[in-house]
């Protein structure tokens, strides 16, 4: 038997229509390019957020460490620091965990006075910086610990922002010693 003429035409037409047209390929490539560019932009912005939250957590951790050291200290012991605290140096984008050393704690200023008082030094990530930083020192005086914020205020906020601009993360400290992230 010979195949029908209609069947032969249909089979040859199917072979010629197999595959994608140039317009379909260009459309697919354009959509993939658009999705890829959106993914890259989203990835970069989420990277900034990760850096911000990491720096916020480091600042909270250092403040909590100073508070913990002050709670553990026995003020009567000789050589015991008058306070533990954190000094913020906005111009250098760093902060320092310090112990306030003074022979007589009743005359101590509860502030960072130089390298002799440094316990640890921390630098902010190069992608971020302090913003509107009013506070210079936060000190925790043993054994309660009482909180001394310099310059004197009831509470302060430390703001960190990306250098390229964007969202701000905040760390708030009040005179009762409560440290919160905002």
| pTM score, whole prediction | 0.75
Query: Does position 19 have pLDDT exceeding 80, yes or no?
Result: no
pLDDT, greater one: 16 or 80 = 80
**Is 133's pLDDT higher than 80?**
yes
Indicate the number of domains in the chain.
1
Whether 16 maps to a domain, the answer reads no
In a domain, 112, yes or no: yes
pLDDT of residue 94: 94
Contact, 48 vs 162, CB < 8 A? yes
Q: Is 8 part of any domain?
A: no
Q: What is the pLDDT of residues 54-105, one digit of tens each?
A: 999 999 999 999 999 888 876 555 667 888 999 999 899 999 999 988 878 8
128 is a domain residue: yes
Q: Exposed, middle or buried: residue 75 (CB in 10 Å: 0-12, 13-18, 19+)?
A: middle
CATH classification of the domain holding 108: 3.55.40.10
Q: Is residue 44 part of a domain?
A: yes
Higher model confidence: residue 136 or residue 80? 136
E strand intervals along 8-117: 83-89, 94-100
Asked whether residue 11 is assigned to any structural domain, the reply reads no
* 50 assigned to some structural domain: yes
Distance CA 145, CA 76 (A): 14
38 in any annotated domain = yes
> Residue 182 has what pLDDT?
83
What is the span of the domain harbouring residue 105? 23-181
**Confidence check: pLDDT of 24 > 90:** no
Express as a percent the part of the chain with pLDDT over 70: 85
- Pick 178 or 15 by higher pLDDT: 178
| Pairwise CA distance, residues 171 & 182, whole Å | 6
Residue 144, CA distances (Å) to 50, 67, 96, 127 in order: 34, 9, 22, 37
As a 3-state breakdown, the chain gives helix, strand, coil percent values, each rounded to 5, of 40, 30, 30
């Amino acid at each position: 038997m010979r195949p029908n003429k209609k069947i032969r035409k249909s089979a040859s037409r199917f072979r010629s229509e197999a595959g994608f047209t140039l317009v379909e390929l260009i459309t697919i490539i354009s959509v993939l390019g658009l999705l890829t560019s959106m993914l890259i932009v989203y990835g970069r912005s989420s990277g900034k957020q990760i850096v911000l939250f990491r720096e916020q957590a480091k600042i909270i951790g250092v403040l909590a460490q100073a508070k913990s050291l002050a709670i553990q200290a026995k003020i009567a012991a000789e050589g015991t620091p008058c306070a533990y605290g954190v000094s913020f140096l906005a111009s250098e984008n760093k902060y320092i965990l310090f112990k306030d050393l003074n022979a007589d704690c009743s005359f101590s200023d509860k502030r960072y006075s130089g390298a002799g008082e440094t316990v640890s030094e921390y630098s902010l990530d190069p992608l971020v910086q302090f913003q509107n930083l009013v506070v210079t020192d936060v000190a925790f005086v043993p054994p309660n610990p009482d909180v001394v914020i310099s310059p004197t205020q009831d509470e302060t906020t430390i703001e960190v922002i990306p250098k390229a601009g964007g969202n701000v993360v905040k760390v708030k400290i009040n005179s009762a010693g409560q440290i919160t992230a905002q």
